[in-house]
Structure 1
Amino acid sequence: MHALEKEKLPRLSLGEGRNMVTQLIVVNLTIFVFLYFTLVIYKMEGVGEPRFHQDIMSWLRLPADPSLLLVRPWTLITSLFTQISVWPLFTNMVWLWCFGSIMQQLAGHQRILPLYLFGGICSNLIYVAGMRLMPTFHTLAGHEYFLGAAGSVMAIAIGATTVAPRYRIFPLLGGGIPLWMITLLFVGLSTGTLMTSSTYGHTYLPLLAGGAFAGWLYMYQWKKGHDWGAGFNRVLFKLTHVFHPTSQQVNPDDFRKKTATDLEQPPFRRIGKVPEQRLNEILDKINENGLSSLSPDERETLLRASKPE
C-alpha cells in the first residue's frame, strides 16, 4: 500500500482546481445540456428527433461496425462524454463521483483523467471487436452503437479497488463497508442495467469487461511503479499552462502520487516529533481499515504529529 498524499482533496468541490472528478462531471453535464437543448430545438422546428440523431449523434456515438469506426475514429473518445438520456447519465456521474473521489485520495488526482480515457477507449475497442468476432453479435454490428461513460466508470471502480480493496467507507457503521463490496454491488447493477436497457443489451457485456480489465491493468502497473499516464499528464499540463507566467509553471511531477519505487527515502526524516515513515504507516492503516483500527499508541502518535513544534 502506498503512502497517502500529503494534500487531501475535498470530496466534491466546484472551486477546487485539482479535483479532476468534479471537472469530469462538469464536462459530461455540460455536453449533455448542449445536446439536449439542441434536441429540443430540432423538435420545436419540426425537424424531428431522427434527424437530430442523423445529423449530430451519429458523429459522436461509437459505431459497432469496425468499418464505420475507421471512418470516424474520434468516436472512441467523443462517445465517452456523450449521453442524451437522463437516467444513464445520472447513475454514471454518481458512481464516477463515488469511486473517483476514493481514487483521488488513494492515488492522486492525476490518475483520474488518464484512467478515464484509457479505460473508456479499451472498453470501446473490445466492444467493437466483440461485435465483430462473436457470431451471435456479428449480424447486429451494422446498426448497433454505444455511448456513455459506463466503460470509463467501470475502469475507475476496478482501479480504485485494485489499489485498496479493504478501504472502508462509512467507518461509523460497524467499522465501515469494504470497498470491494461496493464494487461488487456496482458491477452487478451496471451489468443488469445495460442488459435490460435494450433488446440487445447483452452485447454490452464485452464493453464492461474491457473497462474492468483496463482499470485493473492500469492501476496494477501503477502499484509496481509504472505510471502509464505520466507522459499524458505532462503534455496536458503544458497545453493548459502555455499562456501562464513561467513562475506558475510548476512541474506536475511535483504533485504526483508516490509509488513503491519512490519510497526509498531516509527513515529518520521527521514531521514534528514523529518520523515521516511512521506517520505514513498510520495513515495507510486508516485508509485500509478505518480510524477505529488504530491502537491507543498509534492514536497518540497521530495526535503528536498534528501538533505544531
Structure 2
Amino acid sequence: MMHIEEKDNAPLSMGEEKNMVMQLLLLNITVFILLFFTEVLYRLEGNTLARYYDNVLLHVALPANITTLLHNPWSLITTMFVHNNFWMIVSNMIWLACFGTMLQHHAGRQRILPLYLLSGIVGAIFYLLGMQLIPSFRELQSFAFTCGAAPSVMALAIGATVVAPRYRLLPNLPIPFWIITVVFILVNIITHVVNSNDLTMVPALIGGGLTGFIYMQQWKKGNDLGAGFNRFSHKITHLFHPKTHLHIVK
C-alpha cells in the first residue's frame, strides 16, 4: 500500500496557508457575512424577507424541485457553503474545525477538500432523492430547499473516525474518538428531527456520512479517490508557481 505523506499537517492556525480546514472555515464564514449584509441591505430598502429569499438565497441554496435545480445547477456546489442563520454556521464550523483538523492531521490536507466537495454533492443527491421518493417530503417540493455544510461535516466526522477510531483528543481523557463521533451523529440527527422543518435534511446527512466512510476506507486500502481532483487543482493553482515535490512513502 502506498500513501502520499505530506509534511504540512499543521494544527489549526490563521497563518497557515496550507491548512485546508482553515481555508474552508474562512470561505464559509465569508459567504455567510456577504449573505448577511445582503439581507440587511434588502431589509433596509423596505423589501420583505421573502423577496431576499427569491432574489438571492434561492439562487445559491439547493431547491427540492428538480425543475428549479435545472435553472440553477451551480447550487449543487454553492449550497455546501451557504448558511442562512447564525446558529447553523456556528455549529457547523465548530464541528468542521474539530473533525476536519483531526482528519487533516492523520490523513493529510489533500484529503479534506475532495471529501468536502464529494460528500456535499452526494448529500445533495440524497436530499433530492428523498424529496422525490418519500411521500411526506414530496408535498414540500414546491417551496423546500436546503443549505449548509452539514453533509460535508458528517463525512469528515465519519472519515476521521475510520482513520483513527481509538485516538484520544486528550491523553488523560479515557474516551476514544469514535464515541465522540457517535455523540455528534446522535445530536446532529436529533436536532434535525426535533426541528420539523429540517427533517428533510436527514437523507443528506446519511449521504454525507456514507461518502466519508467509503472514501476513507478506500484511502486506507491505498485507493485515493480524490487523487485526480488534487492533481487537477494543483495544476490550476500552480500555473505560475514553482513546482512542489511530494515525498512518497511505501
Contact 1:99 1:160 in 2 (8 A): yes
Letter aligned with residue 222 of structure 1: W
Following superposition, the deviation at residue 2 of structure 1 comes to: 9.0
For residues 6 and 51 of structure 1, do their structure 2 counterparts lie closer, same or farther at Cα, with a shift above 3 Å needed? closer
For residues 40 and 7 of structure 1, do their structure 2 counterparts lie closer, same or farther at Cα, with a shift above 3 Å needed? same
Contact 1:4 1:105 in 2 (8 A): no
* Equivalences for residues 1-309 of structure 1 within 5 A: 5=5, 7=7, 9-173=9-173, 176-197=174-195, 199-244=196-241, 248-251=242-245, 254=246, 263=250
CA deviation profile, 1:174-200 (whole Å, cap 9, x unmatched):
xx4211001011101111222233x33
- Listed as ranges, the gaps of 5+ residues in structure 2 are none
- Structure 2 residue aligned with 1:307: none
- Per mean C-alpha deviation after superposition, the further-off stretch among 159-168 and 17-26 is 159-168
Backbone CA RMSD of aligned residues: 1.9
Contact 2:13 2:22 in 1 (8 A): yes
CA distance in 1, matches of 2:194, 2:11: 32
Letter aligned with residue 187 of structure 2: L
CA distance in 2, matches of 1:28, 1:123: 17
- Per mean C-alpha deviation after superposition, the further-off stretch among 182-191 and 164-173 is 164-173
Runs (4 or more) in structure 1 with deviation over 4 Å come to 1-6
CA distance in 1, matches of 2:83, 2:184: 20
CA distance in 1, matches of 2:116, 2:45: 37
CA deviation profile, 1:42-98 (whole Å, cap 9, x unmatched):
111112321111111010000111222222221111000011201010000000000
Letter aligned with residue 142 of structure 2: G
For residues 6 and 79 of structure 1, do their structure 2 counterparts lie closer, same or farther at Cα, with a shift above 3 Å needed? closer
Following superposition, the deviation at residue 137 of structure 1 comes to: 1.6
Q: Report the secondary structure of 1:215's partner residue.
A: helix
Letter aligned with residue 21 of structure 1: V
Contact 2:6 2:108 in 1 (8 A): no
Following superposition, the deviation at residue 112 of structure 1 comes to: 0.3
CA deviation profile, 1:273-303 (whole Å, cap 9, x unmatched):
xxxxxxxxxxxxxxxxxxxxxxxxxxxxxxx
Identity of aligned residues (%): 45
Letter aligned with residue 177 of structure 1: I
CA distance in 1, matches of 2:6, 2:211: 28
Residue-pair matches, total: 250
CA distance in 2, matches of 1:134, 1:10: 43
Contact 2:10 2:19 in 1 (8 A): yes
Contact 1:77 1:120 in 2 (8 A): yes
The structure whose Rg is larger is: 1
Contact 2:8 2:18 in 1 (8 A): no
For residues 185 and 109 of structure 1, do their structure 2 counterparts lie closer, same or farther at Cα, with a shift above 3 Å needed? same
Letter aligned with residue 32 of structure 2: F
CA deviation profile, 1:101-129 (whole Å, cap 9, x unmatched):
11011100000000000111101101100
For residues 63 and 22 of structure 1, do their structure 2 counterparts lie closer, same or farther at Cα, with a shift above 3 Å needed? same
Letter aligned with residue 250 of structure 1: T
Letter aligned with residue 111 of structure 1: R
CA deviation profile, 1:141-182 (whole Å, cap 9, x unmatched):
221110000000001100111111111111123xx4211001
Letter aligned with residue 182 of structure 2: L
CA distance in 2, matches of 1:211, 1:134: 19
Contact 2:64 2:142 in 1 (8 A): yes
